[in-house]
Structure 1
Amino acid sequence: MPISEKVISAAVARYDRERDRYLKLAARVSDICRTSIVEDNAIRAQVTFRTKTVRSFEGKLKRFSRRQDKNYATVDDVFAGVGDFAGVRIATYRPEDEQRVTEEIRKLFEGESGGDVFVDKKDKLAVNSYQFYRATHCQVFLRNEDLIGNYENLRGTSCEIQVCSMMAHVWNEIEHDIGYKPEGGGPGEAEKGLLEALGHLTRSGDAAITRLLAANAARMQENVGDFVDIHDFVAQLRPHFPGSDLSVNAGQAFDTAVQLGLNSVPKLKEALGEEALTPAVSTGRIEAFNKYLASVESGEFALNPVSADAVTVALLHSFAGRIVESNTTDRTKGRPARIFEIARLYNRFLDGQKTGERDAA
């Protein structure tokens, strides 16, 4: 049964009244993705957000009505069935980063009623050699700890996060306008052929970008001066931890090093000792600290030994006190940075070790 004109009109009027709330949601989800996924993990990507325009929403409902493929009997049915009022896109430079971004989304958000995030990975080329749409769609809700202050009225409201490579995004957008929303009977044979040609170019473009970034990282490893940016930080330290993915949690390590004035590998070695920047030492320290965290039920702050936490733990071991002092914040202005909590706990961990050593003596 097609959607009635009455339901369409009422749904459009309701969305017009509530659109600012969806805009606030999209902006908040976008900010979390940008800071806690892209920046914290040194992922090269662009994060954008949008809300549907009222006109676009009305057009979508009318297309549903003509195709008769959506049975929305009431306005509530419409709002329960349409999940992309608020939308965020994470376009990665490399397709290889899409899975990692998706895994981080699962950690930072929750699904309906507090469940797991719903993830729908679409790759039409896998079943049709003439289709090139590829993206991962995640339907997310803010966690309780993010529903505070100005965001309390977003409880129970979902946002769609779309993850794809930049090259895939080009094809997806063009095909969406020409193929998904066809005018005048849909795309002709010439348009279909050109879309296919563009699809092949985007796939080869993905591969070229991956190789380009690998070549760039290899060149950056030869740098010996101050860190240019977080990517330079990761590249220069990678030889010290060859079995680790230093891009994971790199934001925390990089920001802390720069804050301490240790903005080059030589400065890090001088301040921390060369042995601190080795897997053997960092892994031992992290395992001991994580064991302590488990004993005080603070496992959410556990460090990852095969990530940039290998550098973070070296900084904590020498400068935990200074890190706490420099990150102390006014609690009325928001929660302290994660590194503040970790450094505070690491200080207690070190104090416990010293007490144990004195008792043993």
Structure 2
Amino acid sequence: MSLIEEFIDRYTKEYDFYGRAANLVAQILENDLRSSGVRCIVSHRAKEVERLKDKCIQRNSEKSYESVEGIFKDIVDLAGVRVALYFPGELELVDKAITRLFDQWDTKRIFPGAEEVPEGRSFSGYSAVHYRVQPREKFIGDADKRYLKARVEIQVASVLMHAWSEVQHDLTYKQMAGDLSSEEHSILDQLNGLVLAGEISLRLLQEAGEARVARTGANFLNHYELAAHLLRHANDALAEPVGDSGLGKVDDLFALLKRLNMTTPADLAKYLESLHGAVAERPLAEQVVDALLAEDSARYAIYNDIRSASNSPHVDSSDAARDTANAMLEFLQDWVELETTLNDLAQQSGVSRRSTMPVANLVRILDIPYGIGDEIDLLRRMRNDVVHLRREFSVAEFDDATKRIKHINAMLKGGGAHVAINP
């Protein structure tokens, strides 16, 4: 058995491993990109055995493989994921998502490189970014821990460029009847120019869509347009640019806005005024959701339905689940009362004329003794975890937190805690 045959035999036995690894990476990335409003097609595959064999034979003529492990090290796309962007201008958002979601075991490759521009051609050729990644443990379930060491290549390019690449790759590298003619090379070069022109048109189309959404009376047609609006507003208003990693669950925010019949930039304007740049702790979508919920406590139930539907399609109707849901609802109802009390105190003290202000701001502004401020901050963090489904709590934890909220609220209303304005 030759070295290449030995490699192919081993790969065939491990084919399902590479397919599952690619599937996991694709799922993690696609869920994040779609949620944050990046329009794309995400696909995955383990490399086909026959195509891999042809590639090994071709590369062996250049590299002269000395071991099976050497072949595994050389072929980096055994497990592959492809991100085909509708709008090439969103490449930077995908870059930030990949950096946040995965560990990169090699430097990303940007095409075309300076040394790779083909001679005798009018256009630059293949344009894309390739990433070589491994999954991170926090995004992988216990049953899939074995895939943490899997190496996966992610290829990111526009939908047009991916299509051209497939045609060019099949003709150039799999030509069994000899080299392509000069005419065929010229036609491929011409098609490449059309693709590059098409990418420019896609960028213009994206800008035109964003301009349409920016008009006061226009409705957000989907969460992608909402995401673009949030990014543009945040990048104008905040000190640093905000990527998709700072957007959060824009799809759930869009669902809430639809339920509230608030789907225009004008409807959203006042809730964007208090956005802050600490998006790693609280993404933009969460900040807007919190502002909406603080304005009307009845919206908690609506948003809870939305989040539950998007994260748990199969509803648990057991007695334990109902007990937890009831305990959570009581916790949130009492939290809303505490928010109202704090805002009332702020207005009475002349600190704010607004009917609502973020609790974190109130805790800083109002001088509440006896460690109550620290207690409120801990409860606020729990509330954020509950509302945005960051973690689950038991009935006992909800009951204990609810008792603490009731006690604090009673003290504040009864004057047991003397509130003053921080200098």
TM-score band by shorter chain is: 0.7 to 0.9
Could you tell me which residue of structure 2 aligns to residue 209 of structure 1? 202
Equivalent in 242, 260, 263 of residue 262 of structure 1:
260
Q: Is the 8 A contact 2:45 2:81 kept in 1?
A: yes
The amino acid that maps onto 2:222 is D
Shift of 1:247: 7.8
Equivalent in 3, 6, 11 of residue 10 of structure 1:
6
The amino acid that maps onto 1:79 is F
Equivalent in 80, 90, 93 of residue 100 of structure 1:
93
1:74-106 CA-to-partner distances (Å, cap 9, x unmatched) read: 222222221111111111122222233122211
Gap change, CA 1:10 and 1:319, over 3 Å in 2: farther
1:170-209 CA-to-partner distances (Å, cap 9, x unmatched) read: 2211111111333222111110110111111111111111
Could you tell me which residue of structure 2 aligns to residue 90 of structure 1? 83
**Larger deviation, residues 162-171 vs 318-327:** 318-327
User: What SS is found at the alignment partner of 1:110?
Assistant: strand
Q: Which ranges in structure 1 are unaligned for 5 or more consecutive residues?
A: 291-300, 334-339
The amino acid that maps onto 1:276 is Y
Could you tell me which residue of structure 2 aligns to residue 57 of structure 1? 52
Could you tell me which residue of structure 2 aligns to residue 311 of structure 1? 288
TM-score where L is the length of structure 1: 0.74
Gap change, CA 1:224 and 1:18, over 3 Å in 2: same
User: What SS is found at the alignment partner of 2:135?
Assistant: coil
Choose 1 or 2 for highest CA Rg. 2
Seq. identity, %:
24
Could you tell me which residue of structure 2 aligns to residue 243 of structure 1? 236
Shift of 1:238: 7.4
Shift of 1:225: 7.2
C-alpha RMSD of the superposition: 3.8
Shift of 1:266: 6.5
Q: Distance in 2 between matches of 1:98 and 1:235?
A: 14
Equivalent in 350, 354, 357 of residue 359 of structure 2:
350
Shift of 1:310: 5.3
The amino acid that maps onto 1:262 is L
1:23 matched to 2:19: yes
Q: Distance in 1 between matches of 2:42 and 2:275?
A: 33
Gap change, CA 1:357 and 1:76, over 3 Å in 2: same
Gap change, CA 1:256 and 1:319, over 3 Å in 2: farther
User: What SS is found at the alignment partner of 1:282?
Assistant: coil
Q: Distance in 1 between matches of 2:291 and 2:180?
A: 59
TM-score where L is the length of structure 2: 0.64
Could you tell me which residue of structure 1 aligns to residue 300 of structure 2? 322
User: What SS is found at the alignment partner of 1:141?
Assistant: strand
Q: Distance in 2 between matches of 1:276 and 1:47?
A: 33
Q: Distance in 1 between matches of 2:229 and 2:100?
A: 28
The amino acid that maps onto 2:83 is I
User: What SS is found at the alignment partner of 2:236?
Assistant: coil
The amino acid that maps onto 1:217 is E
1:41-92 CA-to-partner distances (Å, cap 9, x unmatched) read: 3122111111111222222222223x2x224322222222211111111111
Q: Distance in 2 between matches of 1:236 and 1:81?
A: 43
1:159 matched to 2:155: no
Q: How does 1:180-259 map to 2 (within 5 A)?
A: 180-222=173-215, 224=217, 227-234=220-227, 243=236, 248=244, 249-250=246-247, 252-259=249-256
Shift of 1:137: 0.8
Q: Which ranges in structure 2 are unaligned for 5 or more consecutive residues?
A: 316-327, 340-357, 370-418
